[in-house]
Amino acid sequence: MSEHENRQLVEQAYANFKAGDIPTLLQSMSEDITWQLPEVENVPFAGKRQGRGAVGEFFSTLASLQDARSFEPPRMDQGASF
């Protein structure tokens, strides 16, 4: 993929997350995705997940435990790297 295509993919993923469209977000991910957050004691959504289903469970757990007050993705024109 070109840099432009990568940027579009990331921007769309953030837009899907912000809109709460997790099914569409998950469809943009590889079936064998590895999703990893640092292990943090007493944080049930921390740790490593493998595959779309497990990543979907991450978002379900996150949504059941936290209410987002705001969400602003990084600006792509400011050199964010992923």
Judge whether 60 lies within some domain: yes
Q: Number of folded domains in the chain?
A: 1
Judge whether 28 lies within some domain: yes
- What digits encode the pLDDT tens for the residues 34-67? 999 999 999 999 999 999 999 999 999 988 888 8
pLDDT category of residue 77 using cuts at 50, 70 and 90:
low
Judge whether 17 lies within some domain: yes
Task: Report yes or no: 17 and 35 within 8 Å, Cβ to Cβ.
Answer: no
Give yes or no for residue 78 having a pLDDT over 70: no
Judge whether 56 lies within some domain: yes
pLDDT, position 69: 74
CA distance linking residue 20 with residue 25, whole number of Å: 9
Judge whether 43 lies within some domain: yes
Which of 14, 52, 2, 13 shows the shortest CA–CA distance to 32? 52
CATH of the domain at 13: 3.10.450.50
Judge whether 79 lies within some domain: no
- What digits encode the pLDDT tens for the residues 12-41? 998 898 888 999 999 999 999 999 999 999
Phi and psi angles of residue 7, each rounded to the nearest 5 degrees, phi first: -60, -45
Judge whether 74 lies within some domain: no
Judge whether 47 lies within some domain: yes
